[in-house]
Amino acid sequence: MGIAIVGLSTLPEVRQGDELAALIRNAATAEGHNIDAATIVVIAQKIISKSEGATQDLRQVEPSALARTWAKASGKDPRLIEVALQQSRRIVKMDRGVLIAETHHGFVTANAGVDQSNVPGAEIVTLLPQDPDASADRLRAQLNAGAVIISDTFGRPWREGLVNVAIGASGLSPLEDHRGRHDHTGKPLNSTIVATADEIAAAAGLAMRKSDRIPVALLTGITWTPSKSKASALIRNPSHDLFR
Amino acid sequence: MGIAIVGLSTLPEVRQGDELAALIRNAATAEGHNIDAATIVVIAQKIISKSEGATQDLRQVEPSALARTWAKASGKDPRLIEVALQQSRRIVKMDRGVLIAETHHGFVTANAGVDQSNVPGAEIVTLLPQDPDASADRLRAQLNAGAVIISDTFGRPWREGLVNVAIGASGLSPLEDHRGRHDHTGKPLNSTIVATADEIAAAAGLAMRKSDRIPVALLTGITWTPSKSKASALIRNPSHDLFR
């Protein structure tokens, strides 16, 4: 009883076309862990993107004037900025060396999720997966897992530091609505919709240190609400977002 | 190996002046758990506030004109809004029924952290603890724990749902700077300062369901960086915050 989190550290370097479910299952078995209907598997976006070929060779990128200007101002590679602009549907902020963008999915994150770290060969960047919810669905079926979450580390306003959040989900409700319930004194709980999928991603983040090459965590002992709703439900409707 | 999280469910209702460390230690013992230098204890803000008397009886509150007007527009109790205004040093947003404020500590949260749920007697609200970092220091010493985090559930821009975050910390570095390290391909990791204390709070949140009356979680198996820095380090310096 209680919640247990283990990271998987024996996955090989993932390449395009690799059967990711098989690599994860093999690593779990080699490390003495089981994946079943009681297991939530959290997978770092980076290896999903690599296996799906959601990458870009910077040598094939021709930066626009905007990308070149911004890259100069921020000390970044103009080709990476160009890829980030191509992944964006809205620029949230471009100031003091930081480019915050809303991706084509609706996620708000630095450089639209384009990332250079942990990709062998300095000229390749990863993009966010094209449809992380669909990737989560597929991997959950292949792994026979209870739920799958695809995670990435995002910054946030007001608070320092990155936290691991869910960008794809399958098998669980990413948001749990406690509003209909009552607290133990009998009063209704107000506006307590909990972003369970983000809390699960953050918990997994504790076991998935980037520099330790642990791109997958297995979580057991968590009670969740089975659901077909997706991590895209975590994206706040712009018309309801007081912060835009 | 692995991370383990257990919630404590046998704490009594906490009242002002209660020796919280003793209540937590007794509950842990009764539930078969140990608290030692390898344990991170996450404690919900609500019971800290109750034990410290950081509460307000609404019957003694005279709402201002602003509080009355906003309460009417948002369907809230004008006295609760008055207390929230008194806890604020800046109003971030007051729109569409939601009051987002920066507390006197610098935290940005709904109603400045003033909360009516889980307080026996409908006329009492809890405030955030006056100095959550100091409370965490005191409880860590009393519990002989490796680290203590005081948590509350906060909303955030762009993403739906609340997540448990750290508002007080003792014994660990709330932010871990991976910038000086290299990923496994040898490239330096850029801007990967991880908000470890928030990830720990979120992980604990999975075991601390409000309606289940589990205000404390014990976490083991987490590697952390011992530090005297405080959860206040998680508050982004306004002059560096692109989102203001």
pLDDT in tens, B136-174: 999 999 999 999 999 999 999 899 999 999 999 999 999
Report chain B's mean pLDDT, rounded to a whole number. Answer: 91
Which residue in A154, A62, A162, A166 sits closest to A111, CA to CA? A154
Question: Is residue B221 scored above 60 in pLDDT?
Answer: yes
Residue A242 pLDDT class (50, 70, 90 cuts):
low
Q: Is A232 on the interface with B (CB under 8 A)?
A: no
So what's the pLDDT on residue B78? 95
Report yes or no: A52 and A135 within 8 Å, Cβ to Cβ: yes
Report yes or no: B222 and A206 within 8 Å, Cβ to Cβ: yes
State the smallest CA–CA distance between residue A236 and chain B in angstroms: 5
Question: Is residue B33 scored above 60 in pLDDT?
Answer: yes
pLDDT in tens, A22-41: 999 999 999 999 999 999 99
Mean pLDDT for the stretch of residues A121-126: 83
Q: pLDDT above 70 covers what percent of chain A?
A: 89
- The full set of domains in chain A, from first to last, is 1-54+129-238 (3.30.1330.100), 55-128 (3.90.1660.10)
Mean pLDDT for the stretch of residues B183-193: 63
Question: Is residue A112 scored above 70 in pLDDT?
Answer: yes
Mean pLDDT for the stretch of residues B129-135: 98
Report yes or no: A88 and A99 within 8 Å, Cβ to Cβ: no
pLDDT in tens, A140-159: 999 999 999 999 999 998 99
So what's the pLDDT on residue A146? 97
Given an 8 Å threshold on Cβ–Cβ distance, is A164 in contact with B191?
A: no
So what's the pLDDT on residue B240? 67
So what's the pLDDT on residue B117? 66
Mean pLDDT for the stretch of residues B87-116: 93
Contact partners, residue B58, CB within 8 Å, separation at least 6: B77, B79, B80, B83, B123, B124, B125
Residue B61 pLDDT class (50, 70, 90 cuts):
very high
Residues of A in contact with B6 (CB under 8 A): 1-3
pLDDT in tens, B223-235: 888 899 899 999 9
Which residue in B214, B152, B219, B221 sits closest to B8, CA to CA? B214
- Distance CA(B167)–CA(B234), nearest Å, equals 8
State the smallest CA–CA distance between residue A2 and chain B in angstroms: 5
Residue B237 pLDDT class (50, 70, 90 cuts):
confident
Burial of A31 (0-12, 13-18, 19+ CB in 10 A): middle
Q: If DSSP codes are grouped into helix, strand and coil, which group holds residue A39?
A: coil
Mean pLDDT for the stretch of residues A88-116: 93
- Chain A residues 103-162 with CB within 8 Å of chain B: 108, 110, 116-120, 122, 153, 156-162
pLDDT in tens, A43-83: 999 999 999 999 999 999 999 999 999 999 988 999 999 99
Contact partners, residue B195, CB within 8 Å, separation at least 6: A159, A160, A161, A162, A163, B166, B174, B175, B234
